[in-house]
Amino acid sequence: MCRWLTWRNGAAGGVPANRDAGPGSTGIFARPATSADLTCHDDLVSDFVHRLAGRVGDAALRRIGLAGGIVAVACVLGTIVLNHELTQRVEVDPMFASDLVLGSVWPAAGVVVLHQQPRNRCGWLLVATGLISVYLLMGQYSVWSAKVAPLPGAAVSDWVSMFGFGVYFVVLPLLTLIFPDGRLGSRPEKFLAVSALSAAGAAILARMVVPGPADVDSVIRNPIGISALEPLNFVTLVSSFYCLAVATPLTVIALVMRTRRTVGVQRAQLQWFMVGGIVMACSLIVALLLRDDSRLGDTFFVVALLAPPVAIVLATLRYRLVDAEFALSRSIVLVLVVVLVATVGGLVLWQIDPELAGSRAGIALVVVCVLAAFAVRAVLQRVIDDWWFPQLRGSRTLAPRISEAVSLSSEPRAALTDLISVLRTELRMPYVAFDGVVRVSAGRRPERVVSIEAIALGRSVGQLEVAPRRAGDGFSVDERRLLEQAAAHAAMMAYAASLVMETEISRSRIVTAREEERRRLRNDLHDGVGPSLAGIALQMDALAAALERGGDREDAENARAIRDRVRETVAQVRAVSHGLRPPVLDQLGLEQALRQLVDGLGVIEGSTGLDDLTELPAAAEVATYAIAAEAVANVVRHSAASRVRIDVERDESSLELRVSDNGRGMPGRPAPGVGLTSMRQRATEVGGRLEHLSATGGGTVVRLVLPMDPVLAQEKVAQA
Rg (CA), the chain: 44
Cα three-residue angle 522-525-528, rounded to 5 degrees: 130
Residue pLDDT, tens place only, 666-712? 665 555 555 677 788 778 777 788 888 888 777 888 998 888 765 55
Give the model's pLDDT for residue 40. 38
- Residue whose C-alpha is closest to residue 306's, from 100, 460, 142: 100
The DSSP code sequence of 96-115 is PHHHHHHHHHHHHHHHHHHH
The span from the CA of 651 to the CA of 348, in Å, is 83
CB-based burial of residue 385 (10 Å sphere; 0-12 exposed, 13-18 middle, 19+ buried)? buried
CB-based burial of residue 669 (10 Å sphere; 0-12 exposed, 13-18 middle, 19+ buried)? exposed
The span from the CA of 266 to the CA of 259, in Å, is 8
Helix (H) or strand (E) holding 233: helix 233-241
| Coil/strand/helix, residue 705 | strand
Residue pLDDT, tens place only, 571-583? 777 777 666 677 7
Q: How far apart are the first and last CA of the chain?
A: 63
The DSSP code sequence of 177-213 is HHTTTS---SHHHHHHHHHHHHHHHHHHHHHHH--SB
Tell me how far CA of residue 719 lies from CA of 169, 411, 416, 440, 502, in angstroms.
62, 17, 14, 10, 12
With a cut of 70, say whether residue 642 has pLDDT above it. Answer: yes
Please state the separation of Cα 347 from the chain's center in Å.
43
Please state the separation of Cα 653 from the chain's center in Å.
38
CB neighbours of residue 477 within 10 Å: 7
Residue 352's pLDDT band (cuts 50, 70, 90)? low
Name every residue whose Cβ is closer than 8 Å to that of residue 497 and which is 6 or more positions away in sequence: 411, 412, 413, 415, 416, 437, 438
The span from the CA of 454 to the CA of 463, in Å, is 5
**What torsion, rounded to 10 degrees, do the Cα atoms 578, 581, 585, 586 define?**
-60
The span from the CA of 262 to the CA of 213, in Å, is 47
The span from the CA of 131 to the CA of 332, in Å, is 33
CB 237 within 8 A of CB 12: yes
When pLDDT is averaged across residues 137-142 and rounded to a whole number, the result is 88
Residue 647's pLDDT band (cuts 50, 70, 90)? very high
Name every residue whose Cβ is closer than 8 Å to that of residue 583 and which is 6 or more positions away in sequence: 577
**Rounded to 5 degrees, what are φ and ψ at 415?**
-65, -40
Residue pLDDT, tens place only, 578-607? 666 777 777 788 888 888 888 878 788 888
- In eight-state DSSP terms, residue 226 is -
Residue pLDDT, tens place only, 368-417? 666 666 666 666 666 666 555 554 554 555 666 666 666 666 678 888 88
Give the model's pLDDT for residue 11. 34
When pLDDT is averaged across residues 298-303 and rounded to a whole number, the result is 82
- Residue whose C-alpha is closest to residue 274's, from 338, 319, 224: 319
Query: What's the pTM value of the predicted model, to 2 decimals?
Result: 0.49
CB neighbours of residue 582 within 10 Å: 18
Q: Residue 519 is which amino acid?
A: R
CB 573 within 8 A of CB 529: yes
CB 661 within 8 A of CB 641: yes
The DSSP code sequence of 47-89 is HHHHHHHHHS-HHHHHHHHHHHHHHHHHHHHHHHHHHHHHHHH
The span from the CA of 700 to the CA of 693, in Å, is 6
Q: Can you state the percent helix, strand and coil of the chain, rounding each to 5?
A: 70, 10, 25
β-pair partners for 660? 645, 701
Residue 9's pLDDT band (cuts 50, 70, 90)? very low
Residue 325's pLDDT band (cuts 50, 70, 90)? low
CB 99 within 8 A of CB 19: no
